[in-house]
Amino acid sequence: MSIFSKEAPFYNKLSESRVQCGICPRFCLLNPGERSYCGLYVNVDGKLFIEQYGALISCFPTNYGNILFHPQETFLTVQLPGCNSGCGFCWYGKNYTGHPIENVKPYFKDKPFAVLANKNNSGELSMPSSFRRVSPAQTVDIMTKTNSNGLHFAVVEPSISLSWVHEAARLCHEVGGVNLLSTSGFLSVQTTELLSQYIDSVRLSFKSNGDKDFYRKHVCADSKYVFDCAKTFRDNGVFVQICNSFEVGAGLDKFRDWARWVIENLGSNTPVAANPLQPITFQNADEYFLSMEQIAKEEGLRFFQLDERPEGDPIVWKCPDCQNSILTEHIRIAPSSYFGVNILEISQDMFQEIPIPVLSIELGVDFMGKCLSCGCQTPIKP
Residue 158 and residue 38 share a domain: no
Residue 159 and residue 14 share a domain: no
The confidence score (pLDDT) of residue 335 equals 56
Residue 115 and residue 143 share a domain: yes
**pLDDT tens sequence across 334-372:** 655 555 555 555 555 555 555 666 678 899 999 999 999
Residues 218-241, mean pLDDT to the nearest whole number: 95
**Domain contains 337:** no
Residue 95 and residue 43 share a domain: no
Residue 81 and residue 223 share a domain: yes
Residue 26 and residue 157 share a domain: no
Residue 72 and residue 44 share a domain: no
The confidence score (pLDDT) of residue 149 equals 92
Helix ranges (DSSP H) in the chain: 94-97, 136-145, 162-174, 189-195, 212-214, 224-235, 252-265, 282-299, 343-346
Residue 87 and residue 34 share a domain: no
Backbone φ/ψ region at 176: left (φ over 0), alpha (ψ -120 to 50), beta: left
**pLDDT tens sequence across 137-184:** 989 998 898 888 999 998 789 999 999 999 999 999 999 999 999 999
Residues 315-321, mean pLDDT to the nearest whole number: 92
**Domain contains 336:** no
**pLDDT tens sequence across 248-291:** 778 899 999 999 999 999 999 999 998 887 654 455 677 788 89
**Domain contains 219:** yes
Domain total for the chain? 2
**The last residue of a domain, from among 309, 326, 357:** 309
**Domain contains 1:** no
**Domain contains 15:** yes
| CA 333 from centre of chain | 20
| Three-state SS letters, 121-189 | CCCCCCCCCCCEECCHHHHHHHHHHCCCCEEEEECCCHHHCHHHHHHHHHHHHHCCCEEEEEECCCCCH
**pLDDT tens sequence across 3-47:** 457 899 999 999 999 999 999 999 999 999 988 888 889 999 999
**Domain contains 69:** yes
**The last residue of a domain, from among 294, 309, 324:** 309
The confidence score (pLDDT) of residue 107 equals 34
**The last residue of a domain, from among 278, 309, 340:** 309
SS3 content of the chain, % helix, strand, coil (to 5): 30, 25, 45
**pLDDT tens sequence across 97-121:** 444 434 333 333 333 222 222 222 3
Residue 120 and residue 27 share a domain: no
Contact between 84 and 186 (Cβ < 8 Å): yes
Contact between 209 and 258 (Cβ < 8 Å): yes
Residue with the larger pLDDT of the pair 54 and 129: 54
The confidence score (pLDDT) of residue 91 equals 62
Residue 133 and residue 45 share a domain: no
Residue 123 and residue 105 share a domain: yes
Residue 67 and residue 40 share a domain: no
Domain region containing 246:
55-309
Residue 103 belongs to domain with CATH number: 3.20.20.70
**Domain contains 261:** yes
**Domain contains 185:** yes
